[in-house]
Amino acid sequence: MPQRLVITGRSQEPRGRFTEELRRLRSERGLSLRDLAKEVGWDSSQFGKMESGRTLGGPEVVQALDQFYGTPGLLVTLWELAVADPMQFKERYRRYMVLESEAMNLWHYAVSRPPGLLQTEAYAREALAAGGLGGRELDQQVEARVGRRELLRGLDAPTFRSILSEAVLRTPLRNVRKWREQLEYLVETSEHPNVTLQVLPFSAGPHGLVSTAMMFLRLLDSRTVAYAENDVHGELIEEPSRVERFQRTYDAVRDMALSPAESQKFILRMLEEVPCEPST
């Protein structure tokens, strides 16, 4: 008769399992958060937030913890699973997020803000806070959104095209330095071989996506699905005839956009217009 599997009682949710493992490893060493900070070199508040689930931290701090605890790759693996877990996103996005993680090609149109895949942490925080999030929920949603950027990195990263309405570049963050960082991040990312960035200038006039942000995903089975979103509603579209209709509209918008080289120059000119913060 086969042995019964032992149930550990630990969380089966990736974020919860990661935080449990952090607390367990520190407890076994008999360390306080302050002791850990002295040993590893990060602020104790960072470790406190990670162990409470308020933040997952970045790959550098997780790698440092793996090295300190002598658990090569364990914490990094749990961190990667937590960052990629679609359950951290709100319900209406979850199926879309699963499909996005499996896509071979992605193409996007942005109405008024950069797509989540191209947002800096500061931009994501201000945008999500403007939508009413706060406290721990805001921290988690910011981290989830920033974690999505890993999708565009690595040898197997999908190709990604994003067309930004000029309105995206004319709607700055309140913090000038953070806005400069966002524009610089767009320029930097546009130079990645798998990323194509285009700007649709106001001079292009009215078009079929003037108030609708769109993301198209080419999946492993060669199907294409679309996600349409405005300020109050998001919809995953899988019906082939509707996807094709939106695809034709997107193609018409792409034809009106600036070339990738012209678009990069456009963003660089926008950067020149951002006032420099006074030196102190």
Q: Is pLDDT of 3 > 60?
A: no
Identify the pLDDT of residue 6: 44
Q: Tokens representing 197?
A: 């960035």
C-alpha–C-alpha distance, residues 277 and 210, integer Å:
33
| β strands within 85-158, DSSP E | 105-110
C-alpha–C-alpha distance, residues 59 and 78, integer Å:
11
Residue (of 174, 161, 164, 269) closest to 216 by Cα position: 161
Identify the pLDDT of residue 280: 44
Q: Is pLDDT of 2 > 60?
A: no
Residue type, 250: Y
Mean pLDDT calculated for residue range 219-230: 89
Residue 14 confidence class, pLDDT cut points 50, 70, 90: confident
User: What would the pLDDT profile of 253-269 be if each residue is shown by its tens digit?
Assistant: 999 999 999 999 999 99
Q: Is pLDDT of 43 > 50?
A: yes
Identify the pLDDT of residue 13: 78
Is this prediction's pTM over 0.75? no
Averaged pLDDT score across all residues of the chain: 86
Check: CB of residue 50 under 8 Å from CB of residue 57.
Answer: yes
Handedness of CA 16, 23, 58, 195 (dihedral sign): negative
Q: Is pLDDT of 102 > 80?
A: yes
Write out the DSSP string of 129-144: HHTT--HHHHHHHHHH
Mean pLDDT calculated for residue range 106-111: 96
Residue type, 162: S
C-alpha–C-alpha distance, residues 237 and 228, integer Å:
7
User: What would the pLDDT profile of 148-174 be if each residue is shown by its tens digit?
Assistant: 888 898 888 999 999 999 999 999 999
C-alpha–C-alpha distance, residues 76 and 19, integer Å:
12
- Residue 73, burial from CB neighbour count under 10 angstroms (0-12, 13-18, 19+): exposed
Q: What percent of the chain has pLDDT over 70?
A: 89
- List C-alpha distances in Å: 68 to 77, 78, 82: 16, 16, 21
Q: Is pLDDT of 88 > 70?
A: no
Mean pLDDT calculated for residue range 109-135: 90
Task: Tell me the pairing of strands 224-229 and 213-218.
Answer: antiparallel
C-alpha–C-alpha distance, residues 83 and 145, integer Å:
9
Q: Is pLDDT of 104 > 50?
A: yes
